[in-house]
């Protein structure tokens, strides 16, 4: 079974223009592109995901597009998922919207403790992201959670767990050995001069680790094919 690679956008951490960098990451093998625009107006975020959809279609790229926080954009643009943050709508509320609208996307959320992961699963999350695993530029000065904490989260839930924080081709084998379903990165791909090559190298390192995820992370498109 393969582990998945999520690449998350950050307007302050990319070498190429953001849209181009995300498209190149998908071309390099990223399984999920998550658009995270915490301060951008909704219209601007909506425009970005539409551009990504058009670029993916033009290049026949199969990566899923998720959006951070904005359930309204996920549904209106028919994205493949929404990733909820601490101040987002509750998971249960997004579940109701998904059922009411017939939207097909996944519902994920960020957690930082085992208890939060268990609660997220009980509320109906399709997956959780846990971190930060190693020292990370996204969380300067905060101590990392470490691999054992990741293992405990993986053991505690029956939904996919995506590890995030300071993960690179050099340490990804240790991360995947915990049984997590995949990894999420920002700088490891987007800050590279060639995001496509960086994503490809990371995917190769993941495959070389011969991972065995406790719970596979399946694309929401799988059930529609």
Binding residues for Mg(2+): 69
Specify binding-site residues. Answer: 34-38, 68-69, 110, 136-139, 166
Determine if the peptide bond prior to 97 is cis (ω within 30°): no
Helix (H, G, I), strand (E, B) or coil at 143: coil
Beta strands in the chain (DSSP E): 4-8, 32-35, 64-68, 81-84, 106-111, 127-131, 161-164, 182-185
Q: How far is CA 18 from the centre of its chain?
A: 16
How far from 157 is each of 28, 145, 173, 215, CA to CA, in Å? 30, 17, 21, 9
Q: How far apart are CA 112 and CA 27, in angstroms?
A: 30
Q: How far apart are CA 76 and CA 222, in angstroms?
A: 20
Angle between helices 91-101 and 114-123 (to 10 degrees): 30
Helix (H, G, I), strand (E, B) or coil at 56: helix
Q: How far apart are CA 127 and CA 184, in angstroms?
A: 13
């Amino acid at each position: 079974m393969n582990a998945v690679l999520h690449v998350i956008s950050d307007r302050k951490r990319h070498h190429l223009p953001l849209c181009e960098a995300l498209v190149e990451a998908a071309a390099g093998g990223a399984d999920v592109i998550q658009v995270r625009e915490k301060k951008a107006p909704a219209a601007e975020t909506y425009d970005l995901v539409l551009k990504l959809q058009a670029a993916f279609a033009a290049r026949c790229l199969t990566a899923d597009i998720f959006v951070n926080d904005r359930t309204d954009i996920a549904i209106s643009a028919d994205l493949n998922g929404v990733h909820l943050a601490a101040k987002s709508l509750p998971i249960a509320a997004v579940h109701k919207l998904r059922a009411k609208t017939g939207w097909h996307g996944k519902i994920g959320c960020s957690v930082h403790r085992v208890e939060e992961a268990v609660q997220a699963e009980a509320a109906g999350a399709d997956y959780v992201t846990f971190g930060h695993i190693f020292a990370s530029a996204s969380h300067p000065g905060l101590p990392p959670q470490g691999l054992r904490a990741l293992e405990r989260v993986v053991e505690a839930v029956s939904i996919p767990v995506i590890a995030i924080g300071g993960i690179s081709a050099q340490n990804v084998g240790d991360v995947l050995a915990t049984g997590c379903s995949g990894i999420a990165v920002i700088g490891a791909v987007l800050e590279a001069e060639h995001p496509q090559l960086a994503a490809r190298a990371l995917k190769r390192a993941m495959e070389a680790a011969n991972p065995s995820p406790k719970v596979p992370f399946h694309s929401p498109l799988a059930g529609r094919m």
